[in-house]
Chain A
């Protein structure tokens, strides 16, 4: 049994080290997925955590000014002003009406400061997830 004790001790050390790394890592990098409505309900916590907010880019809201891009995300008629200050160029799919994911922090000025933007442009005939079973009704809408 003594031999197995050695193995058990070694295994325990390895696992403990990994668990420690994993759990300390979580608090450093966790990002909350929130809808715009939920961000509003979070109260003060909204300013403390890293958030990822999804929505559609409101038409005509994209404004570019000295290295910063401002736009408005909308979802279910709620709006969120976003300021993008990251250094990477915005994705090509980022434009009016696209679905976008903004990753960043909420500022006390009520503007969401995003450090990363992902955008998805719903393609021409693509049905929304969840409606996959329904055959697309024609005439197919050619606009994006």
Chain B
């Protein structure tokens, strides 16, 4: 079976290479049969990788501990979900998963475009298969997932495996990597179309229109992945936070930032024919950051305290990135004349300008995060000393960037194209502006002196009001015209232009998330060794340990504290933070006790037992407003889904088309 799997993945490599050359040569020599065979080879690659992956997953689920990968990442007592999730739980498996996703995407792209973009498609296939080939090289020759355990020349099995890293044995974490990977891999498709369009010197914006939905869906996966990562850090890692500017976290944020910039700047190209070079650069950057992100999470480039060139993977990724950058740079420079802008910037206060600054800020933040993440590598290359930067640095830089972005979110969409009159500025911003100033005044009077927090709350209210006013104004107009109630009119309004109003919803989600982020400025934290009966005072809460227990099951042993939370003498609820120790992997994890609330979360972590083994170390936190991050996240997802719904006007158009086809088929029997 292991031979079948290895062979399948090896054949997939050959097929991918074939697809690459057949498509490109077929296009150059204009031989349709070569192009078609190249496209069929793409399906073939998908089938072959699926066989390989299927066998690996089968091994994980049934516990075939002859596979070294299975022995490392699965064990007998794990629930089925995590046995399956072990597919992407380790380096070899997750790279195979990457390959499989890419082949799936490629197959879908080839299928959905089988009658469209005939001149571009061979190159799209070429680019996708080039990337595919790279990952299959890794799967086959560098970190093969099908290594067997052997003793004295014969294959043997171990009785039981290590099990999946217990930190990953958490539902959100089981789906977090696939979400991120769906995002990472998905950006390969718009990238492939962009490059194909560049190679074939396409006039117009065909590649943008075709890949718009792809990009949005990919971006949605990426956003969901990043947010699941935050939720996981908050609920599982137990260090009392959701974001620590860890290299792996940054790796997921980088393509999200540049992808967001891309989603905005394509509008400039669609509407005004501007920023053509920029868009190609952006989508390429996003794709390369996805590759870099994979390599950061997979090679331990930055986390490790040892030298950079550790393990073989880093070099492969670096070479691949270098080749891609060189190729893209050559193509763009060579075809610069095809990418001339059709319009010019006219005024600093205009939609164009707000897009420009949106892009500038997003890219600057992207660059800052990249710089901070790679600083150990850069400093080692420059001065020979490995220097790392920590959270403080990132926060110092990213908070002002974030606030600037937040205010752009509010004002950008309301600036008119070309130039904005003072009158329209006043109309749109007068009331939100006044309300925000009042809010900041009230907060100041209430005793809040944190500068950034004041600014952030002010901006949040401002942006939220501008967005609500847009919905209200549009909805009221429709309501008056069609005699509807306001709610239905607002739904109608959104339906008429889903891209615009879905976009507003996404912005609203971002605002809510910023409300949540700002809460971090007011968090309370304390840690105390406590025995049964001990109390800890925290803000207006009193925490009292009423019970300490321990026990074990097949998978892990545990310690649990039962803590009674009360406020001003009123008993509110109990929380049960727990510490687990997984037997197979000999690792501990925390099950934090969280009581979420709209205003604040009470968060308890069982830090461990004290040295005398009698008292429990309880870390207690109060996180104001954290729930708004998750609420904002859901609004953002909802808004993106709205964007994906076709606008009503277009939908009617599509409907007539369908009717036409039906009639045509209906006439056939005559």
A, B from the same assembly: yes
The answer to whether the Cβ of A77 comes within 8 Å of any Cβ in the partner chain is: no
A93 CA / B581 CA spacing, docked (Å): 10
| A94-130 with Cβ < 8 A to chain B | 101, 121, 123-126, 129-130
B586 A123 Cβ-Cβ under 8 A: yes
- With A7-B345, A129-B300 known to touch, is A87 a contact of B390 (CB < 8 Å)? no
A120 CA / B141 CA spacing, docked (Å): 28
A88 B149 Cβ-Cβ under 8 A: no
Q: Which of A21, A89, A140 contacts B619 (CB 8 A)?
A: A89
Q: Which residues of B contact A (CB under 8 A)?
A: 68, 71-72, 91, 142-143, 147-151, 156, 158, 161-162, 165, 239, 300, 304-306, 310-312, 345-348, 353, 356-357, 360-361, 364, 368, 371, 375-376, 385-390, 392-393, 396-397, 400-401, 404, 527, 579, 581, 584-588, 607-608, 611, 617, 619
The answer to whether the Cβ of A139 comes within 8 Å of any Cβ in the partner chain is: yes
Min CB gap B431→A, angstroms: 27
The answer to whether the Cβ of A54 comes within 8 Å of any Cβ in the partner chain is: yes
A139 B588 Cβ-Cβ under 8 A: no
- With A125-B68, A135-B147 known to touch, is A30 a contact of B345 (CB < 8 Å)? no
Pairs across A and B, CB under 8 Å, 9 listed:
A3-B348, A18-B400, A52-B388, A89-B619, A121-B586, A125-B162, A132-B311, A138-B151, A140-B149
A14 CA / B404 CA spacing, docked (Å): 10
Q: For chains A and B in complex, what number of residue pairs have CB atoms within 8 angstroms?
A: 145
Contacts of A125 in B (CB 8 A): 68, 71-72, 158, 161-162
The answer to whether the Cβ of A48 comes within 8 Å of any Cβ in the partner chain is: no
B585 A33 Cβ-Cβ under 8 A: no
B390 A31 Cβ-Cβ under 8 A: yes
Contacts of B165 in A (CB 8 A): 123
B387 A135 Cβ-Cβ under 8 A: no
A130 CA / B586 CA spacing, docked (Å): 23
B585 A124 Cβ-Cβ under 8 A: yes
B364 A15 Cβ-Cβ under 8 A: yes
Considering only CB atoms, which chain B residue lies closest to A6 in the complex? B348
Contacts of A137 in B (CB 8 A): 150-151
Q: Which of A35, A89, A92, A101 contacts B527 (CB 8 A)?
A: A89
Contacts of B387 in A (CB 8 A): 30-33
A106 CA / B34 CA spacing, docked (Å): 67
| A2-43 with Cβ < 8 A to chain B | 3-4, 6-7, 10-11, 14-15, 17-18, 21-22, 25-26, 28-33, 35
Q: Which of A6, A87, A90, A129 contacts B310 (CB 8 A)?
A: A129
Considering only CB atoms, which chain A residue lies closest to B528 in the complex? A87
Contacts beyond the supplied A28-B392, A129-B300: 13 A-B pairs with Cβ under 8 Å: A25-B397, A26-B375, A29-B393, A31-B390, A32-B387, A88-B607, A88-B619, A89-B608, A89-B617, A123-B165, A133-B142, A133-B312, A140-B158
A135 B151 Cβ-Cβ under 8 A: no
A126 B72 Cβ-Cβ under 8 A: yes
Min CB gap A26→B, angstroms: 7
Q: Which of B147, B360, B389, B400 contacts A11 (CB 8 A)?
A: B360
A101 B305 Cβ-Cβ under 8 A: yes
Contacts of A3 in B (CB 8 A): 345-348
Min CB gap B303→A, angstroms: 10
Contacts of B310 in A (CB 8 A): 129-130
A87 B527 Cβ-Cβ under 8 A: yes
The number of chain A residues touching the other chain, given as a range, is: 35 or more
A126 CA / B239 CA spacing, docked (Å): 25
A135 B150 Cβ-Cβ under 8 A: yes
By Cβ-Cβ distance, the 9 closest A-B pairs, closest first, are A92-B588, A89-B607, A33-B386, A138-B151, A54-B305, A25-B393, A29-B393, A89-B617, A25-B396
Min CB gap A21→B, angstroms: 5
Contacts of A52 in B (CB 8 A): 305, 388
Considering only CB atoms, which chain A residue lies closest to B616 in the complex? A89
A133 CA / B72 CA spacing, docked (Å): 14
A30 B397 Cβ-Cβ under 8 A: no
Considering only CB atoms, which chain B residue lies closest to A31 in the complex? B388
Min CB gap B44→A, angstroms: 28
Contacts of A140 in B (CB 8 A): 71, 149, 158
A124 CA / B72 CA spacing, docked (Å): 8
A85 CA / B409 CA spacing, docked (Å): 44
Min CB gap A129→B, angstroms: 5
B397 A14 Cβ-Cβ under 8 A: no
Contacts of B356 in A (CB 8 A): 7
A43 CA / B386 CA spacing, docked (Å): 17
Contacts of A129 in B (CB 8 A): 300, 304, 310-311
Most buried by A among B347, B364, B617: B364
B389 A26 Cβ-Cβ under 8 A: yes
B149 A138 Cβ-Cβ under 8 A: yes
Contacts of A138 in B (CB 8 A): 149-151, 156, 158
The answer to whether the Cβ of A78 comes within 8 Å of any Cβ in the partner chain is: no
Considering only CB atoms, which chain B residue lies closest to A55 in the complex? B305
A26 CA / B586 CA spacing, docked (Å): 37
A71 CA / B300 CA spacing, docked (Å): 27
Min CB gap A110→B, angstroms: 21
A126 CA / B345 CA spacing, docked (Å): 57
A89 CA / B305 CA spacing, docked (Å): 23
| A47-70 with Cβ < 8 A to chain B | 52, 54, 64
- With A22-B368, A101-B305, A132-B311 known to touch, is A32 a contact of B162 (CB < 8 Å)? no
Contacts of A87 in B (CB 8 A): 527
Q: Which of B156, B311, B348, B375 contacts A7 (CB 8 A)?
A: B348
Contacts of B527 in A (CB 8 A): 87-89
A21 B386 Cβ-Cβ under 8 A: no
A132 CA / B588 CA spacing, docked (Å): 25
B385 A32 Cβ-Cβ under 8 A: yes
- With A14-B360, A90-B608 known to touch, is A25 a contact of B348 (CB < 8 Å)? no
Considering only CB atoms, which chain B residue lies closest to A136 in the complex? B68
Contacts of B156 in A (CB 8 A): 138
Considering only CB atoms, which chain B residue lies closest to A101 in the complex? B305
Min CB gap B630→A, angstroms: 25
- With A124-B586, A125-B68 known to touch, is A26 a contact of B305 (CB < 8 Å)? no
Considering only CB atoms, which chain B residue lies closest to A95 in the complex? B586
